[in-house]
Structure formats: structure tokens, C-alpha cells
Amino acid sequence: MAKLADVAALAGVSVTTVSRVINNYGSLSEKTKQKVHDAMRELNYAPNTNARSLQGKGTNLVGIIFPGVANPFYGDIVQTLENKLFERGYRVILCNSVNNADKEREYVRMLMANQVDGIISGTHNMTIEEYQRISAPLVSFDRFIADGIPIVSSDNFTGGQVATQGLVRAGAKNIWMFSGANRPQSPTNKRLSGYSEVMQESGLAEHVLALPFRMDADLKWAQIKTTLKNARPDGIFCSDDLTALMVLEVAKQLKIAVPDDLRVVGYDGSQMIQNYFPELATVTQPINSMCALMVDLLIKQIEKSDDKIEMNYELPVQLHAGRTLLG
């Protein structure tokens, strides 16, 4: 972890000057203040507001960074993590990054200032080097963020396979995948690879429509509508359940019968989907098991357990064959 002296050395000023900048004390030039703030930002340094009272003890605080909880899948993950951490004696600071790198950096600095014992991250907007500078134990959900940080995910490749196999077995031929942005290290990439393998093995042409998570809802609706009208797919695999629900609504507007003329499979299987849209066929991720594993891995790092920690954990998925697939 960066210290006050490290900030001073990088900024080319004294430790006293850094302290004065942090505490906004005394008369200092804007140039000096900027140099100190730049050095703090580069070193990911945040003043420790709890150091005196804690005296080296843990805070029993864990930071959780996710894109947002409006998505019911992330909402389920965050709630389950919070419950399991509470059971183990930890409290949570929730940070909503909204896929914004600057916002994520500020949250990381805030978490370090509060001396959290560890961080669970379900987003990746900062650089690998920035993650490597974080001194607290880290666990990543669903994506690579830096070497040495364990990753917990569902088996995304198999998920893509079973979703596509379900559509093929149901008789679909013109099968499309509506994917996310397919950014580097995104779990959508493995789901796409699973789809591609099954399509190639079945001798069917691949069709992929990228609908990024942050795309405006009206634009997403328009692209789905255009594809359904012009391409007339008879099977669609969506890389998330919310997109699958939008496909069903667009199909209803276009008077396309599901599942007679169009079969749809989603991905995630959150509790909200299971409770309110049980007719949606979807690849269900093991949310409870993934959260239990993330918490266990984080606490092992916090407690410096001798147990070996692997760098990649993939948990099995299941296909819920709802009415939108089998009728």
C-alpha cells in the first residue's frame, strides 16, 4: 500500500506538504496542490481516516463494486453477497460503478480510505495496473481483472452450448444470438463461443446482433424489431434475460407467435425471472453457490489461510426449458 512518503517522493515535495494538502491547511500554491493530488491518484493513495482508532485491527468491512443493481441479476448477486458476508461477521459498502472508469477509481480510493478488509468486484473499467496496486484482498466475479486475483463465474461456454442446443433440438434453423458488447474479458465472449460451436456442428449459419448492456433501451428495441421483421429468425439466444424479455415484447407487437414461430432462450435466471416470468426459457446461473464461493475465497485471503486458492472457478449451469422454448 502506498504511504504518505511515497506520495511526497512522487510529487517532489515534503511529507509535511502532502499532509497540509490533505488537511487543506496553510497557504499552498495551486501547482503544488495539483502535483500532490496527481501523485495520490497515480499511486491510488487515500488518507486513512480510521487508522488511529483501529490500531492495526481489521474493520470487518468489505467493498462490493458492481455495474448497478437495477439489473435483477446483479441485484440478486449483491443481496446474496451481503447476506453471506453478514453471517460471517462482515458489513458491506456497496459501490455502483455504472461501467464508469472514473467512478470506479474514486470508489476504490474511498474503500481504501475506509480500510476495507477486502473487495469483491463484478466490473472491470480500470486498467490491470490499477487493480494490481490495490493492497486489499480481491475476488472478481465473472471476468479477468489482473493476475493473482481469483475469478468466480458460471460455465459460460457450456451455457452458450446448452442454450443453442435447446433451440436446435426444438427444430429452429435460423438461430440468432443477441449478445452484449463482447468486450475483452467479457463473459459474453464464452457464451458466444458456445453458440458458435453448436451452430458449426449443426451445419447452420451464425447470426450475431451485438446489443451492449449500456445501449439506450429505445435503440435496442428498434434494432430487435428490425431484425425480427427482416431476418425472421425462428430461434434467438439472448445473453441476458432482460434482452430476452424485450424480444418477447417486440415479437408480441409484431404478432410473431412464441414458440410456434419463434423460440427464445435467455441467460441468468435471477429470482425475479423465476418468480414473475417462469415461462421464459433461460440458462440459470448458480447465484447462491457463486456468492458463497466468492465470500469464502475473500475471507481466506483476509485471514491469510494456508488453503490453496485457485485462480479460476467455473460453476455448472442449468437450462430451464420454459414455454418460450418448448411450448
What mean pLDDT is reported for the chain? 89
Q: Which residues pair with residue 84 across a beta bridge?
A: none
| Confidence (pLDDT) at 128 | 59
Tens digit of pLDDT for each residue in 40-55?
888 888 766 554 344 4
User: Phi, psi (5° rounding) for residue 274?
Assistant: -60, -35
Domain regions of the chain by residue span = 4-40, 60-153+288-315, 156-285+318-326
Reported as a pLDDT band with limits 50, 70 and 90, residue 171 is very high
The yes-or-no answer to whether 60-153+288-315 and 156-285+318-326 have a common fold is yes
Tens digit of pLDDT for each residue in 111-138?
887 788 999 998 867 665 777 778 789 9
Architecture per CATH, 60-153+288-315: 3-Layer(aba) Sandwich (3.40)
| Confidence (pLDDT) at 107 | 85
From residue 256, how far is each of 56, 240, 276, 279 by CA, in Å? Answer: 64, 21, 22, 16
Tens digit of pLDDT for each residue in 249-297?
999 999 999 999 999 999 999 999 999 999 999 999 999 999 999 999 9
Q: What is the pTM of this model?
A: 0.79
| Confidence (pLDDT) at 54 | 44
The third-level CATH classification (topology) of the domain covering 156-285+318-326 is Rossmann fold (3.40.50)
- Given a cut of 60, whether residue 308 has pLDDT beyond it is yes
| Confidence (pLDDT) at 183 | 63
What single-letter amino acid sits at 220?
A: K
268, 317 contact by CB (below 8 A): no
| Confidence (pLDDT) at 266 | 97
For residue 259, whether the previous peptide bond is cis, meaning omega lies within 30 degrees of 0, is yes
- Given a cut of 70, whether residue 223 has pLDDT beyond it is yes
